[in-house]
């Protein structure tokens, strides 16, 4: 999925968010095993939410706009297949939150991240206050959100906000490399692993272990598990079919 709003550096307005949600709803997770989200152009992944639209909103409108973005990002977070954010250039505000909703984040060496909302009299409204602490830790998340500072790619890597930095020219190549590596594995097991990892943020330890245990056991009902392990033991290869 490529976000292309060149006049605003791919800023997210209501129309773009609606289109993103509709696109995600059409993704055939039985056919495709990984999804990559990126932004069009050299300068920006997503520069943020559309300030020109937000500036006209009242509290009810602000809540509706925030809910629209949060719901779309939740669809990304809970999509059965892994989602990779390929971040080139600016990932600010809603753009940073979009990257946080993805499973894996890689960025170009010119990428810049930040949550500048408090400098505009608002807070991160697309679940940034929830996801950022989970990724970089409570203290660092508070610093980034409270200060509204923008950080470069090397600092994003240091704090664990991104998995890797590559050149702008290599960004999609690296995203595809990771996607293909994921796609080579058993899709039912990958989906189960994603559900478990997500669930364990919302459940206490005992419930998380129980949830993981159930998903683990159900993997053994799949043909992929049987044939995959058989091929491993026989030192061969098996092309997973999602069965």
pLDDT digits 0-9 by tens, 110-125: 999 999 998 888 889 9
Domain range list for the chain:
2-183, 187-233
Neighbouring-strand partners of residue 12: 49
Sheet holding 2-3, edge to edge: 2-3, 35-39, 83-87, 104-108, 164-166
Does 87 score more than 70 pLDDT? Answer: yes
Cα–Cα distance, 41 to 2 (Å, whole number): 10
Sheet holding 112-114, edge to edge: 44-46, 90-92, 112-114, 150-152
Of 42, 31, 36, 32, nearest to 9 by C-alpha is 42
Q: Which of 117, 174, 212, 215 is catalytic?
A: 117
Do the domains 187-233 and 2-183 match in fold? no
Cα–Cα distance, 238 to 228 (Å, whole number): 6
Average pLDDT over every residue of 39-67 = 91
Choice among 77-86, 139-148, 196-205 with the minimum mean pLDDT: 196-205
Does 71 score more than 70 pLDDT? Answer: yes
The CATH number of domain 2-183, selected from 3.20.20.190, 3.90.226.10, 3.40.710.10, 3.40.50.300: 3.90.226.10
pLDDT digits 0-9 by tens, 153-202: 999 999 999 999 999 999 999 999 999 999 999 999 999 999 999 987 77
**According to the model, what pLDDT value does residue 97 have?**
95
Alpha-carbon Rg for the chain, nearest whole angstrom, is 19
Residues 6+ apart with CB under 8 A from 92: 46, 47, 48, 112, 113, 114, 115, 116, 150
- CATH 2.40.33.10 fits domain 187-233: no
Both tokens of residue 197? Answer: 């990892």
Global confidence as pTM = 0.90
Half-sphere exposure of 38 (CA within 13 A, CB side): 21
- Give catalytic status of residue 97 as yes or no: yes
SS3 call for 105: strand
pLDDT band at 209 (very low <50, low <70, confident <90, very high): low
Eight-state DSSP code of residue 30 = T
């Amino acid at each position: 999925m490529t976000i292309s709003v060149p006049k605003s550096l791919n800023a997210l307005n209501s129309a773009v968010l609606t289109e993103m949600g509709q696109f995600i709803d059409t993704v055939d997770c039985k056919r495709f095993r990984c999804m990559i989200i990126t932004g069009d152009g050299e300068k920006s992944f997503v520069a943020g939410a559309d300030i020109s639209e937000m500036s006209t909103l009242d509290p009810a409108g602000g809540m509706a706009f925030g809910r629209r973005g949060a719901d779309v990002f939740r669809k990304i977070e809970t999509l059965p297949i892994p989602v990779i954010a390929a971040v080139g250039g600016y990932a600010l505000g809603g753009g940073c939150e979009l990257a946080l909703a993805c499973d894996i984040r890689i960025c170009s060496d010119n990428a810049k991240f930040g949550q500048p909302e408090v400098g505009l009299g608002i807070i991160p409204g697309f679940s940034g206050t929830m996801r950022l602490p989970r990724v970089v830790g409570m203290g660092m998340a508070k610093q980034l959100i409270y200060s509204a500072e923008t950080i470069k790619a090397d600092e994003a890597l240091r704090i664990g906000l991104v998995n890797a930095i590559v050149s702008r020219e290599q960004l999609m190549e690296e995203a595809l490399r990771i996607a293909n590596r994921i796609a080579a594995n058993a899709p039912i097991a990958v989906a189960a692993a994603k559900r478990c990892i997500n669930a364990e943020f919302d459940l206490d330890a005992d419930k998380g272990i129980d949830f993981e245990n159930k998903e683990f056991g159900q993997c053994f009902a799949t043909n992929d598990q049987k044939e995959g392990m058989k091929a491993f033991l026989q030192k061969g290869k098996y092309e997973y079919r999602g069965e």
